[in-house]
Amino acid sequence: MKRYDYLVRIWIFGISFLSALINLVALSKYAYSLSHYTGNFIDLVIDFLRDHRFETIATLAGISLCFVIGSALATGINRQEDFSVNHRYGELQISIGILILLVYFLIPERWVYLLLLGTSLGSQNGLIRTYKGFSFKTTHVTGTLTDLGSYIGYRIRGDKSAGWKIAFDAGLLFAFGAGSAVGYLLYREAGDRSFFWCGIAYLLWGVFYLFLRSRMRSEKDQNPT
């Protein structure tokens, strides 16, 4: 099983990449962040107190609620926090991809897309929350930066076990940055077709996990100890 650890980590980094990708595409299209809700809540309060733009308030509240619903659904499907080869990560990612493609082809209305994408990122944030007991988030970087600084401090103090956690957080940050760059370039070149490619990316990454899970289960059966 240990020889697949690097592939599991690549898959996790891919989740962070996809989160940033779809967030940048949505931000470019609709000017709403779907993964960073601190700014959204500030905008919601400002719009309510200063401008009374109830459409904006309803949109931000709806996206936030869908993010919570998505996280709840993912947690309900995968009840254990730590990564497990038996969890249905791939099926959930494939479902997200199919829904994005269906909306792209059948329901072009803006508010439907925003709610779906908010739900998708919420489910992705709740999809996997710990790996080997190490807690992390895949849809935003504030907590990752905090953890990275903390583990660098632990390593300076002589904690050798912090080394792989530093590398893990650095990988998440790199993947998120790469996803943001690709999302920006993709929307600049493809416009609304970017959502189609986001759906395809989710499908492919879900299939990759199913392949990885099959290989890991096969090796586990061959080496039960």
The HSE-up count of residue 126 (CA atoms within 13 Å, CB side) is 21
CA distance from start to end of the chain: 11
Kindly report, residue by residue over 119-169, the tens digit of the pLDDT. Answer: 888 888 777 778 877 777 787 787 788 888 888 998 898 888 888 888 988
User: Contact 70/120 with Cβ under 8 angstroms?
Assistant: yes
Q: Which one has a higher pLDDT value, 175 or 103? A: 175
What is the domain partition of the chain in residue ranges? 2-220
Please give the CATH number for the structural domain made up of 2-220: 1.20.1250
| pLDDT given at position 80 | 67
What SS3 class is residue 82?
A: strand
Q: How many other C-beta atoms can be found within 10 angstroms of the C-beta atom of residue 107?
A: 11
Helices 37-46 & 54-77 angle (0-180, nearest 10): 150
Q: Which residues pair with 131 in a beta bridge?
A: 134
State the pLDDT confidence band at 1, using cuts at 50, 70 and 90: very low
Most confident of 42-51, 182-191, 209-218: 182-191
> What's the pLDDT at 225?
53
